[in-house]
Structure 1
């Protein structure tokens, strides 16, 4: 059981040419009332001032690695390898933790549930829309949508079996969450906003991404992969309903 200061958060931030946003991102983590164990910025060899801005913080809890990677999930996997904390969280370099008590509230949940392995909440988009994941389970992940990585905290042990599959350029987090929920991971929803989520990122704009069609096919494959083919019609019906709803409203 992890309690109090036995809980060590590793905040993993993939970054690439993030000079315009990385400072606000880091500040949102550093202002937390519960101390952060480490902040790992995995930079994809930016050619702007991203690394210089990170280094200007001169904070020993911030560690930056700058090298070429194979996309965001490769960067996230590198962060997992480097992480020394027992709770991991992934924040985009253009995202921010919602307020200074996010980590404190997550700690309260962990302390109240000795065996919890995943804690997740909601996010607010840059347009002010709240994405809610109330009591999400495996079937919600299949039929609805992925819990975005800005909304979810993982115990380190969850990654002992597998990491993110870098064959997926946009959907690897959905694949990973389906995998652990299919395993029956002990998860807990918390009714609070975790992060401000910038929808201009790749995962936020996956339908406009140049690899959208290929990844849409990947999403369908994932539904079948996790032995949920009986729910495939519901997946398509739900997608159609959401599309019609957007056009009407």
Structure 2
């Protein structure tokens, strides 16, 4: 009988007492039987670890210590992982259904390095679905909570901790230009939380700039570089404009979002 793949789920958290339990429950309630669950806490002081300890018997490994940001914490998780595949389900996010890992790994994934799907987003502006790009367009973007990567690939690469807001994009982009094999699934894998705030708006801008930096430093062919960079430069400028409009006319943007939700 073929050995069942071990799936490593890594949750990174810092002071996430309001959200961590939902994330934990979505992992430990998966019907897939071979899950390694790792929690990396950045030395929370708000009671987060009390909740983690409540489920300690269901968690394969956890640690609470200071780190050098989210990507440093994610690297810590990769280094201790022993599974065949890794997915990050960070605090506030959770799996879309209790059988989603089973659905993903019922697929034929021979020779595949990265498998991914769509996501459902919750925000103050409403809820909406993000559909995945086809593999040749993965450079346009993805939701990292909906991406499974071979463990050996993660350990060989790790996240660049010097890229503070979009090292996940840099990681996947390097796999893409490096010729790794991607497979898209027509599944919603994760339900993610987007907290809209002044900080997150600033972080979005920094993230877009980091994406541009990643594409620039990893440029490999003139044609692809121009296409990829131009696409994300336009996205960056649009995001800047949207944030300005949102700050000046918040009620108008909210009404537009609500109208769009009603039309779905």
Smaller-chain TM-score range? 0.7 to 0.9
Select the structure that is richer in helix: 2
Judge conservation of contact 1:29–1:36 (CA < 8 Å) in 2: no
State the shift of 1:5 in Å. 4.3
* Structure-2 change in CA distance of 1:151 and 1:65 (3 Å): same
TM (normalized to structure 2)? 0.80
Q: Which moved more, 1:212-221 or 1:125-134?
A: 212-221
Report what 1:104 is aligned to: 102
Q: Which moved more, 1:156-165 or 1:224-233?
A: 224-233
SS of the aligned residue for 1:6 comes to coil
* 1:236 and 2:229 aligned: no
* 1:220 and 2:199 aligned: no
TM (normalized to structure 1)? 0.85
Judge conservation of contact 1:134–1:191 (CA < 8 Å) in 2: no
Report what 2:260 is aligned to: none
What is the aligned residue count? 238
State the shift of 1:242 in Å. 7.4
Report what 1:57 is aligned to: 55
Q: Which moved more, 1:212-221 or 1:28-37?
A: 212-221
SS of the aligned residue for 2:97 comes to coil
SS of the aligned residue for 2:157 comes to coil
Judge conservation of contact 2:93–2:192 (CA < 8 Å) in 1: yes
Q: Larger Rg: 1 or 2? A: 2
Candidates 24, 27, 40, aligned match of 1:42: 40
Judge conservation of contact 1:51–1:64 (CA < 8 Å) in 2: no
Taking the aligned partners of 1:198 and 1:237, their CA distance within structure 2 comes to 25
Q: How does 1:111-126 map to 2 (within 5 A)?
A: 112-126=108-122
Structure 1 residue ranges without an equivalent (≥5) = none
* Structure-2 change in CA distance of 1:244 and 1:4 (3 Å): farther
Across the aligned residues of Structure 1 and Structure 2, the Cα RMSD in angstroms comes to 2.7
CA offsets, 1:160-180, max 9 Å, x none? Answer: 421000001111001001000
Taking the aligned partners of 2:211 and 2:59, their CA distance within structure 1 comes to 37
Candidates 161, 165, 173, aligned match of 1:178: 173
* Structure-2 change in CA distance of 1:187 and 1:28 (3 Å): same
Report what 2:93 is aligned to: 95
Taking the aligned partners of 1:4 and 1:21, their CA distance within structure 2 comes to 37
Judge conservation of contact 2:32–2:101 (CA < 8 Å) in 1: yes
State the shift of 1:128 in Å. 1.7
* 1:167 and 2:167 aligned: no
Candidates 8, 24, 27, aligned match of 2:25: 27
Q: How does 1:142-157 map to 2 (within 5 A)?
A: 144=140, 146-157=141-152
